[in-house]
Amino acid sequence: MGDDFIVETKNLTKEFKGFVAVSDVNLKVRRHTIHALIGPNGAGKTTCFNLITKFLPLSRGTITLNGRDITNTAPADIARLGMVRSFQISAVFGHLTALENVRVALQRKLGTSFQFWKSDKSLAELNDRAEELLVDVGVQEYRDIPAGELSYGRKRALEIATTLALDPEMLLLDEPMAGMGTEDVARTAELIKRVSKDRTILMVEHNLSVVADLSDTITVLKLGKVLAEGPYSEISQNPEVIEAYMGHGVGSHA
């Protein structure tokens, strides 16, 4: 398992009309770990994330998934290969109940997403798996509540459930704690820890306390380049990282 990397980037570069937002980023994400991509504002982490998930085209470089070159592969095809981005791909339907949202996602995996005229009996066959996923993310008691009526944090949990319905091998989370209160942050962090047991997770996250608690490996970007990489215990003591995060409290986590 020492060299078992599910995703690798080589010389990942993105230029916007002469401005280099990401420069020669070499990233290796080890299978069955939680890997965080962090950095101060303007570091290029969101651009890097968008390149890996193919929401932006690369200027230069390569990306491999399980040893397969996906540099020119479309996002939808990458999802079929087992790498799925949450909070972007898995938006919920506000007028459908929590259970119905997950059931639609399960239909999508079966290739029947748009067959809304299918019989209730046929759709009900998906209920058991849908309810299991609601239990997995801790929102089973809201199964019959329209998604639009759920709190922000529980709506994010439901989105993770719809993503898990696609049975991804790798889950990419784009700022999963954004806009959450303390209670929802704690609940979502526990959820991420739970669903990571048999999956790989790559996330961009601003909440350094969450990053410290969850991540096996952290890659720090600054001005589009890798500044440091390692466990939180190492990067939080790195003088260059501390300088980059001056005033952001990178070393303050207990």
Q: What is the pTM of this model?
A: 0.85
* DSSP letter (8 states) at residue 14: E
The pair of structure tokens assigned to 202 is 């790559």
Q: pLDDT tens digits, residue range 181-236?
A: 888 888 888 889 988 888 999 999 888 888 999 999 999 999 999 999 999 999 99
Please tell me the predicted confidence (pLDDT) of residue 253: 44
Q: Which domains does the chain have, with CATH numbers?
A: 1-90+170-254 (3.40.50.300), 93-165 (no CATH)
| Mean pLDDT of the 157-179 span | 87
CA distance 91 to 178: 15
Q: Strand (E) positions, the chain?
A: 5-16, 19-30, 34-38, 60-65, 68-69, 83-86, 170-174, 200-204, 217-222, 225-230
Please tell me the predicted confidence (pLDDT) of residue 47: 92
Please tell me the predicted confidence (pLDDT) of residue 1: 43
Q: Which residue has the higher pLDDT, 253 or 145?
A: 145
Q: pLDDT tens digits, residue range 8-58?
A: 999 999 999 889 999 999 999 999 999 999 988 888 888 998 899 888 999
What is the rounded radius of gyration, in angstroms, for the C-alpha atoms of the chain? 19
